[in-house]
């Protein structure tokens, strides 16, 4: 074996609240959060598009804020709350956004959708009224290769309008 | 009267896709989400050089690394598979060297696979791949098309003598004379950078060879399971009925996941050797180095006109750098062929001369990507005609009105050989001009120019070859099926199950098929389920490529639906003692059309048909599961068409371009679901905008990729693109009952033309032109500086 071996191969104990349940696990220090969720927890709704933080497919919520699952080590989730597409779907928190996305066909292959919905959820949760251009800017950390973004922006705007009304 | 061949209701409705609830709640099942028992993971060792000799490969350390099951090189892998010769038999002079699964003595592009490491986890496979030691000797590199054709250039494949893969010319009329007699000639030299399809889900498969019964099952993120069934069977010598290819949920295809990839076949070989399932899911860097790429063209073109605005002639000279080999099955001369045969297609003129050359370079292979050569053809025609109209002092819309093929001339064959039958250029243009408020935007453009704001309007007309028939690939020698098929089965409960040969990477084709079945059978769409993408269960078919799914697979579904309906009514007729002509199916019930009464539910029919056959006459033939296939025997394609417009602003200080608005009017024949068609068009448009403004694979002089991450390879995000307005003209295809043509590529084709023309329109008052895609700020500023000189 060479000097490359086993950097980060040691185990780390983590305790985290994942989708509402407390969880204790030993993880490889080098394992990123998205791999942990997908491989260890079999929560495959968090997708990996680039594994270097650009595409946003791996977006999850950590302590309620969006984060890149591929740039976060699983160990960093210790002591924090992690929410994924599965948990937020099951709890109904994404229901309104999901309904608007479906009705407007704001998804094609669906690979970006988990991340897109979580970013949209964060935007809507902030409750600020945004212009269409501002919504586009907010959503620009999530790449979609299939749709023209138009329907996604429509869907987010529809929910935001209901939530934020005239607030600015 | 209700005729079974005139389906209604669900067809044409804005019905949301049925897969979306699953995909939007994290319940999709993409290849990398699937685990099989005893499964291993593959990682490849790839060439770090664009051209280098392999002196020695040492896999000793890798073999003993943690978790490693095996390391294979060309010695083990290539022995199981003949190399591919990606040559189209119907293209005389087309040549390629044989492409092996793994490089053995020499690598000819950076990223070519050399060894496969198979381990318990992908991470362990990647770690071990780092330990494979290869001794290389760098060889001279052919980095671009000019180096490839330079006199005395070394041939990448010595046995070919030079680097020309394919050289094709066509000549119609006498363009030389027409140019000599012309009042106005516009001549330009255009460049289109090499780019990626960049599906968000990278390529992947799980190869599962079962040594017990010697069957191969491949769960494959691929657009055409039947194509891959044939390839695996033929190349790996497994009887075809023992090969099953299943396409699960797929994170985007765009043509890229239609190609044949040597690393994917090597993964199957590894599974055969090891007798265990092996998964390969390439990461993003590998995707940059190994996904089929697109474009990389250099085109010289010119147009000759009379003072009156009549087009006399066009000439196009294209040269394409297609990588180091011919692409297996799908070839890589199609971009050039489409570029030259479709340039100028919407316009009536007599004289045309064109040439395309595909040349080998030490780069990854060009393969299928949305639009293929059609966007290039669109840019050539629309840029030349827009510049010509400007020079003649004719408004560009008026120029188009005068020069499009008139309806009265249809059907016709263009000088490039395109057959136009049911195209609708004028209707699309007039609708577009309304939709975008053309006159209003022109006025705004003029006013803003006086204030130093440079905006441009680009209008682009295009044809789209969709839904190829057997005359296209048939003579090429490639086993590519242009038919599709569908089984429709009435379940005992009265529900309907449909199994199609189509695949769906997000287009919504399966929902379209459900709509067609629902409308044809007279049932609710909620009572119809559709599965696709499994080569072992549906009739044989082509899958998703060339904008064909709904046009061909939808027609097969319609025909199968009609057959099943006939059989259901025959059974109901026997049971109710009513003439079948007096029966119909409405809302899931068999009704007597004379009395309007429900006479039986489909559940009644199912119950009798499956469980109480004893109540039927003994010679009654119960067939409640029927299959139909369809192929457009006599047609090369169904020609769709459209017109698009871009409204753009160029910041002359920074060189940045902003697209302010985009409009599209498409004619894809009968629209089955406008909700899905619109977003299909918009998605294509965004890829077109990305192509023109952002996307470029950058290489060093020795042909090493410099931008292998999404941080360096710029893709359009939500903020980079405008709202996109889509309109339709519907001119049905006349040779099918359904009347649909394709729509998958229209958005990209038209957008590339419209943005090229729009940006150059903005620069007209400054005397500058940008002619090198993508139009980066640097290239825009260079163009402005050149104009000032």
Q: What is the pLDDT of residues A110-130, one digit of tens each?
A: 999 999 999 999 999 999 999
Spatial neighbors of B430 by CB under 8 A, at least 6 apart, are none
**Number of Cα atoms under 13 Å in the Cβ half of residue B221:** 30
For residue B254, which residues of chain A lie inside 8 Å, CB to CB?
145
Is A148 part of the contact surface with chain B (CB cutoff 8 Å)?
yes
Where does B322-420 show beta strands of DSSP type E?
Answer: 351-359, 412-413, 419-420
**Closest-approach residue (CA) in chain A for B27:** A45
Question: Which segments of B82-121 does DSSP mark as H helices, in order?
Answer: none
Residue B506 phi, psi dihedral angles, 5° rounding = 125, -5
Strand, helix or coil for residue B264:
helix
Q: Give the pLDDT band (50/70/90) at residue A168.
A: low
Q: Which residue has the tokens 């242009």?
A: B482
| A contact residues 61-80, partner B, Cβ 8 Å cutoff | none
The CA distance from B435 to the nearest CA of chain A, in Å, is 17
pTM to 2 decimal places? 0.97
Looking at chain B, which residues constitute the CATH 3.30.365.10 domain(s)? 20-27+483-630, 374-466+636-788
Secondary structure of A27-82 as H, E, C letters: EECCCEHHHHHHHHCCCCCCCCCCCCCCCCCCEEEECCEEEECCCCEHHHHCCCEE
Query: What sign for the dihedral angle of Cα A124, A129, A132, A138?
Result: negative
| B contact residues 141-180, partner A, Cβ 8 Å cutoff | none
Q: Return the pLDDT at A167.
A: 62
Parts of chain B with a pLDDT under 50: 1-7
Element (H, E) at B3: none
Q: Which residue has the tokens 């440079």?
A: B454
pLDDT, mean of residues A39-45: 97
- Best of B15, B26, B39 to disrupt the A interface by mutation (most A CBs within 10 Å)? B26
Looking at chain B, which residues constitute the CATH 3.90.1170.50 domain(s)? 34-139+198-290
Topology, domain B20-27+483-630: Aldehyde Oxidoreductase; domain 4 (3.30.365)
Is A47 part of the contact surface with chain B (CB cutoff 8 Å)?
yes
Architecture of domain B374-466+636-788: 2-Layer Sandwich (3.30)
A2 pLDDT more than 80 = no
d(CA B144, CA B155): 13
**Percentage of residues in chain A with pLDDT exceeding 70?**
93
With residues binned 3-state (H G I as helix, E B as strand, rest as coil), the percentages for chain A, rounded to 5, are: 40, 15, 45
The verdict on domain A11-88 having CATH code 3.20.20.80 is no
- Best of B19, B22, B25 to disrupt the A interface by mutation (most A CBs within 10 Å)? B25
Closest residue by Cα to residue A143 from B645, B287, B288, B252: B252
> CATH homologous superfamily of domain A94-163?
[2Fe-2S]-binding domain (1.10.150.120)
The residues facing B485 across adjacent strands are B629
For residue B130, which residues of chain A lie inside 8 Å, CB to CB?
4
| B contact residues 741-760, partner A, Cβ 8 Å cutoff | 747
Q: Please give the CATH number for the structural domain made up of B34-139+198-290.
A: 3.90.1170.50
Q: Return the pLDDT at B6.
A: 41
A62 pLDDT more than 90 = yes
User: And the tokens for B612?
Assistant: 């109480």
Is B717 part of the contact surface with chain A (CB cutoff 8 Å)?
yes
User: And the tokens for B676?
Assistant: 């899905």
| A contact residues 8-27, partner B, Cβ 8 Å cutoff | none
Q: Give the pLDDT band (50/70/90) at residue A164.
A: confident
CA distances from B519 to B3, B24, B515 (A): 12, 27, 6
pLDDT, mean of residues A56-81: 98
**Closest-approach residue (CA) in chain A for B63:** A1
* CA angle (B303 as vertex; B729, B409 as ends), nearest 5: 40
d(CA B251, CA B627): 29
Residue B606 phi, psi dihedral angles, 5° rounding = -65, -40
> Do B676 and B740 touch, CB atoms closer than 8 A?
no
Q: Return the pLDDT at B2.
A: 38
Is A45 part of the contact surface with chain B (CB cutoff 8 Å)?
yes
Is B787 part of the contact surface with chain A (CB cutoff 8 Å)?
no
Shortest CB distance from B683 goes to which of A35, A45, A146?
A146
If one compares B159 and A165, the residue with the highest pLDDT of the two is B159
Q: Return the pLDDT at B4.
A: 41
Closest residue by Cα to residue B545 from B403, B334, B339, B732: B334
Strands laid side by side in the B484-490 sheet:
B528-532, B496-500, B484-490, B625-630
CA distances from B720 to B201, B659, B687, B732 (A): 22, 8, 11, 35
**Are domains A11-88 and A94-163 of this chain identical in fold?**
no
Annotated domain spans of chain A = 11-88, 94-163
> Do B266 and B575 touch, CB atoms closer than 8 A?
no
| B contact residues 250-309, partner A, Cβ 8 Å cutoff | 250-254, 283-284
d(CA B228, CA B221): 11
Q: How far apart are the first and last CA of chain B?
A: 73
Query: What sign for the dihedral angle of Cα B478, B483, B486, B487?
Result: negative
């Amino acid at each position: 074996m060479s000097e490359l071996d086993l950097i980060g191969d040691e185990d780390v104990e983590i305790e985290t609240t994942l989708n509402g349940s407390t969880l204790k696990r030993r993880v490889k220090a080098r394992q990123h959060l998205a791999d942990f969720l997908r491989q260890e927890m079999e929560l495959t709704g968090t997708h990996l598009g680039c594994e270097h933080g650009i595409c946003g497919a791996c977006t999850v919520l950590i302590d309620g804020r969006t984060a890149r699952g591929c740039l976060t080590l699983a160990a960093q989730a210790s002591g924090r709350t992690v929410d994924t597409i599965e948990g937020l779907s099951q709890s109904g928190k994404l229901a309104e956004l999901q309904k608007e996305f479906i009705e407007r066909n704001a998804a094609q292959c669906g690979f970006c959708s988990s991340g897109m919905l979580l970013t949209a959820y964060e935007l809507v949760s902030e409750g600020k009224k945004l212009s269409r251009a501002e919504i586009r800017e907010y959503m620009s950390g999530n790449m979609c290769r299939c749709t023209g973004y138009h329907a996604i922006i429509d869907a987010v705007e529809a929910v935001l309008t209901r939530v934020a009304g005239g607030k600015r | 009267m209700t005729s079974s061949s005139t389906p209604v209701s669900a067809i044409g409705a804005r019905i949301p896709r049925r897969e979306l609830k699953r995909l939007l709640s994290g319940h999709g099942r993409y290849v990398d989400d699937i685990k099989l028992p005893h499964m291993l993971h593959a990682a490849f060792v790839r060439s770090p050089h664009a051209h280098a000799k392999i002196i020695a490969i040492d896999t000793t350390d890798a073999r003993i690394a943690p978790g490693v099951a095996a390391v294979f090189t060309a010695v083990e892998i290539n022995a199981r598979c003949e190399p591919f010769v990606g040559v189209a038999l119907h293209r005389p002079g087309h040549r390629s060297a044989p492409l092996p699964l793994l490089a053995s003595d020499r690598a000819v592009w950076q990223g070519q696979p050399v060894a496969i490491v198979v381990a318990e986890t992908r991470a362990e496979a990647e770690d071990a791949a780092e330990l494979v030691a290869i001794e290389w000797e760098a060889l001279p590199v052919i980095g671009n098309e000019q180096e490839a054709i330079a006199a005395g250039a070394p041939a990448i494949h010595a046995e070919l003598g030079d680097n020309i893969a394919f050289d094709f010319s066509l000549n119609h009329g006498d363009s030389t004379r027409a140019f000599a007699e012309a009042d106005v000639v516009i001549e330009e030299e255009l460049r289109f950078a090499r780019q990626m399809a960049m599906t968000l889900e990278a390529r992947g498969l799980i190869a599962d060879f079962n040594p017990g019964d010697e069957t191969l099952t491949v769960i494959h993120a691929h657009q055409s399971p039947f194509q891959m069934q044939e390839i695996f069977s033929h190349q790996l010598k497994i009887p075809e009925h023992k090969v099953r290819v299943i396409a699960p949920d797929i994170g985007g295809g765009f043509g890229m996941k239609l190609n044949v990839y040597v690393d994917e076949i090597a993964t199957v070989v590894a599974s055969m050797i090891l007798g265990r399932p092996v998964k390969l899911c390439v990461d993003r860097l590998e995707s940059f180095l190994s996904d089929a790429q697109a474009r990389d063209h250099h085109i010289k073109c010119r147009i000759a006109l009379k003072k009156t605005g009549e087009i006399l002639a066009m000439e196009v000279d294209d040269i394409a750098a297609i990588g180091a080999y011919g692409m297996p099955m799908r070839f890589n001369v199609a971009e050039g062929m489409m570029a030259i045969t479709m340039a100028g297609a919407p316009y009536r003129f007599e004289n045309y001369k064109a040439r395309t050359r595909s040349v080998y370079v030490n780069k990854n292979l060009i393969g299928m990507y949305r639009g293929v050569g059609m966007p290039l053809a669109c840019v050539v025609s629309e840029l030349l005609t827009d510049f010509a109209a400007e020079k003649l002092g004719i408004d560009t819309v008026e120029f188009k009105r005068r020069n499009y093929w008139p309806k009265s001339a249809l059907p016709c064959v263009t000088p490039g050989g395109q057959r136009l039958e049911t195209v609708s250029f004028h209707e699309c243009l007039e609708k577009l001009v309304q939709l975008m408020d053309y006159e209003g935007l022109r006025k705004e453009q003029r006013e803003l120019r006086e204030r130093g704001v440079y905006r441009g309007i680009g209008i682009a007309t295009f044809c789209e070859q969709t839904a190829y028939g057997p005359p296209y690939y048939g003579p090429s020698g490639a086993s590519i099926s242009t038919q599709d098929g569908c089984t429709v089965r009435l379940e005992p409960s009265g529900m309907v199950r449909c199994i199609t040969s189509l695949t769906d990477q997000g287009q919504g084709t399966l929902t379209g098929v459900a709509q067609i079945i629902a409308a044809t059978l007279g049932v609710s769409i909620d009572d119809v389920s559709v599965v696709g993408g499994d080569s072992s269960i549906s009739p044989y078919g082509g899958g998703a490529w060339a904008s064909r799914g709904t046009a061909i697979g939808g027609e097969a579904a319609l025909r199968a639906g009609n057959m099943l309906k006939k059989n259901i009514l025959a059974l109901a007729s026997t049971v109710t003692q009513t003439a079948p002509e007096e029966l119909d199916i409405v809302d899931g019930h068999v009704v007597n059309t004379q009395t309007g009464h429900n006479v039986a539910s489909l559940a009644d029919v199912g119950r009798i048909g499956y469980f109480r056959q004893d109540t039927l006459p003994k010679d009654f033939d119960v067939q409640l599961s029927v299959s139909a296939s369809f192929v457009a025997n006599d047609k090369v394609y169904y020609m769709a068409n459209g017109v698009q417009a871009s409204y753009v602003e160029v910041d002359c200080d920074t060189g940045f371009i902003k697209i302010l608005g985009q409009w599209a009017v498409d004619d894809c024949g009968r629209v089955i679901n406008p909700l899905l068609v619109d977003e299909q068009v918009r998605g294509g448009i965004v890829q077109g905008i990305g192509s023109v403004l952002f996307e470029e694979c950058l290489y060093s002089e020795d042909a090493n990729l410099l931008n292998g991450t999404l941080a360096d390879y710029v893709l359009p995000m939500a903020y980079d693109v405008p709202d996109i307005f889509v309109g339709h003209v519907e001119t049905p295809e006349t040779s099918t009952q359904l009347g649909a043509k394709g729509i998958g590529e229209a958005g990209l084709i038209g957008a590339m033309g419209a943005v090229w023309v729009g940006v150059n329109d903005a620069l007209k008052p400054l005397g500058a032109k940008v002619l090198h895609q993508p139009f980066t700020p640097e290239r825009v500023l260079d163009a402005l500086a050149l104009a000032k000189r």
